[in-house]
Amino acid sequence: MRVTVAGSSCSVPRIDRACSAYLIEDGDFAFSLDFGTGAFANVRRYVDYDELDAVVISHMHADHFLDLIPLRYAIRYGSKRRKNRLPLWMPPGGIAMLRAMTNVFVGEGNGDFLDEAFEIKEFDPAKPLPIGEGRLRFAATTHFISSFAIRYERNGTSITYSADTAPDQRVVELARGTDLFLCEATLLANEQEQGGVRGHSSSKEAAKMAADAGVKRLVLTHYSQDATPADLADGARAIYKGDIEIADDHSVIVV
């Protein structure tokens, strides 16, 4: 399996960087976990829209799905023609939210705006989802809205993506023993979230989840312009003793 980071920023993109998107290529099958702001152009460097096999969205914050809109325009009007509509898996309730947003600029009743480009469905987080030759499993996370960590596995090899989450035992269990753990590190090492409501993790908290889950490799991602490699990695290394990497746009990880 080959993972290409197409977007590694949190909701405020770092300069020349995109928001959350992780392209997974498993043999001839290619799909993206999330498709955030600015990520489409990055994805196209590796797998263009006519060859992309699926997109899976973890939750309905713009930095995780907004580039579905230019993707839709490419499928509909781009010079490359797909053989079929692109399978698009949304979280529960995500289809209605996406349609509500697109209705603002295409008008009510224009339901084919999405359907003419996407084969759009919602995943059931309680059930495994076959995709390509593998399958996805899900776990709810601690975030400000409903959000789901995602694990892709095939023939004993697995990649787990935390999506957005504060420290959460459900994410730990989903990631247990995984080969690669893509975990958000939105907060600076000693930063406190405002208002007393948790929705994100620091690199230290990501490392603690990785250690508790016994993952083989940790990649820290979804971080801000203020995060330095020292802030991200140094604190994490004191907690998690395995391999630690910092994601950046166009990073390639082979599992």
The edge-to-edge listing of strands for the beta sheet with 134-140 is: 129-131, 134-140, 148-154, 157-161, 180-184, 217-221, 243-246
Q: Of 1.10.580.10, 3.60.15.10, 3.40.50.1820, 3.40.50.720, which CATH number belongs to 2-254?
A: 3.60.15.10
Band of the pLDDT at 140, cuts 50, 70, 90? very high
Q: Work out whether strand 134-140 and strand 243-246 pair parallel, antiparallel, or are unpaired.
A: unpaired
**201 and 171 Cβ atoms separated by less than 8 Å:** no
| Cα angle: 60, vertex 39, 102; to 5 degrees | 45
The answer to whether the predicted template modeling score (pTM) of the entire model surpasses 0.85 is yes
The tens digit of pLDDT for each residue in 49-76 reads 999 999 999 999 999 999 999 999 999 9
In the predicted structure, residue 240 carries a pLDDT above the cut 60: yes
What is the pLDDT, as a whole number, of residue 110? Answer: 58
The tens digit of pLDDT for each residue in 208-223 reads 999 999 999 999 999 9
The mean per-residue pLDDT over the stretch 182-199 comes to 89
The tens digit of pLDDT for each residue in 19-30 reads 999 999 999 999
In the predicted structure, residue 136 carries a pLDDT above the cut 90: yes
In sequence order, what are the beta bridge partners of 139? 149
Sketch the domain layout of the chain as residue ranges.
Answer: 2-254
Residues 6+ apart with CB under 8 A from 122: 89, 90, 91, 92, 93, 94, 95
Q: Which residue has the tokens 């460097």?
A: 45
How confident is the prediction for the chain on average, in pLDDT? 95
In the predicted structure, residue 107 carries a pLDDT above the cut 80: no
Give percent of the chain above pLDDT 90. Answer: 88
